[in-house]
Chain A
Amino acid sequence: NAGVMQNPRHLVRRRGQEARLRCSPMKGHSHVYWYRQLPEEGLKFMVYLQKENIIDESGMPKERFSAEFPKEGPSILRIQQVVRGDSAAYFCASSPRTGVANYGYTFGSGTRLTVV
């Protein structure tokens, strides 16, 4: 059973370009979380999605950032018109369900985005 798969592992974009980060959750997992880690900082929550639904996007910047988790295929975090401040590691995590028994979900290895 493969873990949470994120690609690409490294992504370089010029200022103004678009960045697309992909996350394939573990098999059987229908909940996806995205986190951002700025250099020398802890991870910060961005968005929580279930299949075809955004449940909580309280950590998403208001502009240029969007996320989706379609019925088929991976979850996508999309950053339009990237700026240097978007340079960070972006982590995806997945879980099978919410509830008392669901804690300590599984993280992917992250995508390091560098904006030049």
Chain B
Amino acid sequence: AQTVTQSQPEMSVQEAETVTLSCTYDTSENNYYLFWYKQPPSRQMILVIRQEAYKQQNATENRFSVNFQKAAKSFSLKISDSQLGDTAMYFCAFMNFQGAQKLVFGQGTRLTINP
């Protein structure tokens, strides 16, 4: 069974700084997807960024980028020029390429952006 581990329960940075959230996962599959989701206090699950394991290029979405290290099974999220609205819980998640395509989530990192 796949597992996802986020080793940082909480992080806090100043506005405009860069912050990196860590995620490692365990799988025997070769093809899969990885995701970062944001959950603000409203509880809505918002997709931040996704990565296909067969792509070597790291995904980027505006201020958000990932460092995908397939051999190390590592998938970190970098937030540049952090904003107050980035304050939220962040969840790393894994999805198999085939089958039911259900998400396996990590425990989450609570990120606080301070003014």
Do the two chains belong together in a single complex?
yes
Question: Is A42 part of the contact surface with B, judged by Cβ < 8 Å?
Answer: yes
Closest CB of chain B to A92's CB: distance in Å?
10
| Residues of A that sit less than 8 Å from B by CB | 33, 35, 40-45, 48, 55-56, 59, 89, 91, 93, 95, 98, 100, 102-104, 107, 109-110, 112
- The B45-101 residues at the A interface (CB cut-off 8 A) are 45, 47, 50, 52, 91, 93, 95, 97, 100-101
A-B contact pairs, 26 of them (CB 8 A): A35-B103, A40-B108, A41-B107, A41-B108, A42-B93, A42-B106, A43-B45, A43-B91, A44-B105, A45-B102, A45-B103, A48-B100, A56-B100, A56-B102, A89-B43, A91-B45, A93-B45, A100-B97, A102-B101, A103-B33, A103-B50, A103-B95, A104-B33, A104-B47, A109-B43, A109-B44
* 3 closest A-B pairs by CB: A42-B105, A107-B45, A56-B100
Closest CB of chain A to B88's CB: distance in Å?
13
A62 to B33 Cα, complex, angstroms: 29
- Determine whether the beta carbon of A104 is less than 8 Å from that of B43: no
Count of chain A to chain B residue pairs whose CB atoms are closer than 8 Å in the complex: 54
Question: Is B104 part of the contact surface with A, judged by Cβ < 8 Å?
Answer: yes
